[in-house]
Amino acid sequence: MEETQTAQLFFQEEVPDLLKCLRADQKPLWGFMTPQHMVEHLIVIFKMSIGRINLPVVSKEEDFPRLKAYLMKDSPMRRSVPAPNGKNELQPLRSANLEEAKEKLLKEIEVFLAFMKDNPDRELNHPYGGPMKPSEWILFHRKHFKHHFIQFGLIPDYES
């Protein structure tokens, strides 16, 4: 099975079940996000991958190939990576509670998957990796989700 199809199945089949296990009182293994902050952070990144939110690219163009390869590889992400805007602070919450945020995230996943189907060649900037097509973004999203699911103990760490 192609890697993008495997990633798509991860979002359609595994993510909804894993999100059901996320509780508002769960503590991260590292970092300072709450479960709701993490879910809302993932929503923002999905919006970025379909062009509804734009952040400046902070990497040098000559580094794009190396960074993009890292972002798309199904391997652990570095922990406590600084935000592209340099502000490592919690953003104000936008949803009334964690359950509402989880519902919004599942809808954003559906929107992204439809966007990927309808716009396979559309390139949108990742702040570190530069221009990426939806088939590349979905691999990053999977890596990013796994990173945060490990952070909150929803899945075992890669080394476990």
Show me where the domains of the chain are located: 3-77+95-151
Asked if residue 158 has pLDDT above 90, the reply is no
Distance CA 68, CA 41 (A): 20
Overall residue count recorded for the chain in this entry: 160
Predicted local distance difference test score (pLDDT) of residue 89:
82
Residue type, position 72, single letter: M
What pLDDT was estimated at residue 95? 98
Q: What is the pLDDT of residue 45?
A: 96
pLDDT digits (tens, 9 = 90+) for 29-81: 999 999 999 999 999 999 999 999 998 999 999 999 999 999 999 998 888 77
- Sign of the Cα torsion 11, 15, 16, 19 reads negative
| pLDDT confidence tier of residue 114, bands split at 50, 70 and 90 | very high
Helix axes 64-72, 134-151, angle to 10 degrees: 60
For 3-77+95-151, give the CATH class.
mainly alpha
Question: What mean pLDDT comes out for the span 81-93?
Answer: 77
